[in-house]
Chain A
Amino acid sequence: MTERKLRVATTSLAGCFGCHMSLLDIDERLFDLVQLVEFDRSPLTDIKHCGPCDIGLVEGGVCNAENVHVLREFRRNCRILVAVGACAITGGVPALRNNIDLWDCFQECYQYEPGTAGHVIPDDPELPLPFDKVRPIYEVVHVDYYLPGCPPPADAFWQLITDLAAGRVPKLEPAMIRYD
């Protein structure tokens, strides 16, 4: 292969990392994958900020100001941005808190629990501002592709990346399109 490798960044916003696990579930194909792509910022590398990339894979919705910052950085740097999994596409399970007042959530978690001795609700400036609603990423940035599933199957990741690497529009078999 003479062509340069695609550069891929991945991140988890308000997600559970299950989508990243499913990417790793390509198992031995990981060795073929690294012939095609190299990783920029990702939980697998120590690169802390996304640089210019071909593909950005975003897991999880947007639940705080820091998520917006990271998401915009990805959009600025990635030629193709993919919303990966139910959380990035719809908000997912974390968005179950959307019809509840955020302050009620904080009180439930930090003030009412059995055996909780100190009753402070964390509010340090180092903690990013939480939003009242968890939002899908398309409400914040333009998204090029959506990879559905909770998580999307490993084969779907493989298909997406190999199609893009070959310059094709990604095409998924019906069995790879999951709404679980």
Chain B
Amino acid sequence: MTHPLETAAHPETLRRVVIDPVSRVEGHGKVTLLLDADNRIQQARLHIVEFRGFEKFIQGRPYWEVPVLVQRLCGICPVSHHLAASKAMDMIVGATELTPTADKMRRLLHFGQILQSHALHFFHLSSPDLLFGFDADVARRNVVAVAAARPELVRQGVLLRKYGQEVIRVTSGKRVHGSCAIPGGVNKHLTPAERDYLLADIDRTVAWSRDAVALIKQLYAERKDFHNGFGYFKSAYVSLVRADGALDFYHGGLRARKADGELLFDHADYATYWDRIFEVTKPWSYMKFPYLRDLGPEDGWYRVGPLARINNCAFVPTPLAEAERIAFREFDHGSATHANLAYHWTRMIEMLHAAEGIHALLRDPDLLAGELVVKGTRAERGVGVIEAPRGTLIHHYRVNEDDQIVRANLIVSTTHNNEAMNEAVRQVALRYLDGTEVTEPLLNHIEVAIRAYDPCLSCATHALGQMPLEVAVVDAEGRTVDALRRDSDGAVRRPSEIAA
């Protein structure tokens, strides 16, 4: 599985440009570009540079410890790992169907997670690019500058994230690395006081989420052609969907849609995901490259996350978000449905759905009373899959009769998007950097393309590393020829100049 510009033939003759670290993303990434003497791009890669070894060191640990331990892979979406691992452990303890209380408590927790993570990405990380432009001054490209220019907007963003974090704290005891789910269920109810506390701010949370969708829609439409075309390519999409085809973050069957819109498979049982999804490794990144087995390693790569989910589902099961889904799909005759930057738009639609979902759930009496845990016949293998903020998250474990983990395999959301992010880097590099003098604002264009995916480089390290983003330019032989680094003073330098 190689793509044009993925590997240059003679890297030793090329100049190397590096973006290290990729900033305003979660985790560590690095981009390398290789350029020839005329500044033509010969190679462009996004590297994940850290390695954790989780699948190995988890072996021998007791299975019930995993949902708490595995969160420490990622502090941005710990709840996603907590829930995916718990769903796998449900299978281990034979809990084929959870009690309504357990199911709803977990869904509430998960909605809180989607809300806080999507708010963080839009307001704290990406808003400077969208509001000030991709080539704004380095000193302005951060949330502090946005707060100075648009204080009310950032205040809402901070409070939206806070609300999601409070949902997590109330359901799991802590905002980061709490504990709610246990094998076969959950460990607590909501008290009436906790419910009332969350009810107090839910209306404004829904309203502000609606405003956020309106804002991204307006920003997107203002420069429609530019936003549609930025690093454009088509791809297949993968996500979970509910039995009736609805968007569902917590549970469902796997649906894969080809780039032409045709379904490749639908409602596939995720417990045998390995029949559908293969992975290859490449020597230059710790992050693997998954592909759909039916389409093969060359053409089988796909995208996951907000854009994939909104494109894949038949409808969103809450009214305000569903209206926004239709508006997105119909926008300019569907011209935005494959766009990289449409990730921002669909992310805000999902945030609205999460807010509406919390609004509806909080009135459900099952949260306050009912059985917490069920058990059944012990099994040896457990697979748990959920839709994390960044896309489909797969946890897979085998447990021996002494309750110890024997094997583990994770495919995290960001890993599914590996090839897509690399393609976005290549497209943007070709369109904006090819044949020109590399400048800092141009390099930010590459980061904007990566940022659209909200990559979580912490998770992607699972394959046991963290994903550093570096852009290097390599020559036709595959040697890195040039690198650019952005320093504290905002200046862009080549490594040769730094070494000198």
Contacts A18-B177, A47-B486: A114 and B444 contacting too (C-beta < 8 A)? no
Which one of A12, A24, A92, A117 contacts B28 once the chains associate, using CB atoms below 8 Å?
A12
Residues of A within 8 A of B382 (CB): none
* A27 part of interface (Cβ distance < 8 Å): yes
Residues of A within 8 A of B283 (CB): 120-124
* B454 part of interface (Cβ distance < 8 Å): no
A25 touches B175 (CB 8 A): yes
B155 touches A115 (CB 8 A): no
Q: Would you give the shortest CB distance from A154 to chain B, in whole angstroms?
A: 8
Contacts A18-B75, A48-B20: A109 and B488 contacting too (C-beta < 8 A)? no
Contacts A34-B144, A126-B32: A17 and B282 contacting too (C-beta < 8 A)? no
Residues of A within 8 A of B151 (CB): 31
Residues of A within 8 A of B282 (CB): 118, 120, 122
* B464 part of interface (Cβ distance < 8 Å): yes
Q: Which residue of A lies closest to B493 (CB)?
A: A49
**Bound Cα distance A45, B143 (Å):** 8
A16 touches B138 (CB 8 A): no
A115 touches B277 (CB 8 A): yes
Residues of A within 8 A of B59 (CB): 108
Q: What are the interface flags for A128-161 relative to B under an 8 Å C-beta threshold, 1 for contact and 0 otherwise?
A: 1010000000000000000000110010000000
Residues of B within 8 A of A125 (CB): 480
Which one of B75, B144, B147, B463 contacts A17 once the chains associate, using CB atoms below 8 Å?
B75
**Bound Cα distance A25, B282 (Å):** 37
Q: Would you give the shortest CB distance from B67 to chain A, in whole angstroms?
A: 13
* A83 part of interface (Cβ distance < 8 Å): no
B23 touches A49 (CB 8 A): no
A117 touches B279 (CB 8 A): yes
Residues of A within 8 A of B488 (CB): 40-41, 47-51, 77
Q: Would you give the shortest CB distance from A31 to chain B, in whole angstroms?
A: 7
Contacts A49-B487, A92-B72, A122-B286: A105 and B57 contacting too (C-beta < 8 A)? yes
**Bound Cα distance A20, B286 (Å):** 23
**Bound Cα distance A21, B113 (Å):** 12
Q: What are the interface flags for B350-372 relative to A under an 8 Å C-beta threshold, 1 for contact and 0 otherwise?
A: 00000000000000000000000
Residues of B within 8 A of A25 (CB): 162, 165, 175-176
Residues of B within 8 A of A22 (CB): 75, 175-176
Q: What are the interface flags for B51-64 relative to A under an 8 Å C-beta threshold, 1 for contact and 0 otherwise?
A: 11111111100000
Residues of A within 8 A of B468 (CB): 66, 128
Instruction: Given contacts A17-B75, A31-B158, list 18 more A-B pairs with CB under 8 A.
Output: A14-B50, A16-B74, A21-B176, A25-B165, A41-B488, A51-B488, A63-B50, A63-B52, A100-B53, A100-B56, A105-B56, A106-B53, A116-B279, A126-B47, A126-B470, A126-B472, A128-B50, A151-B176
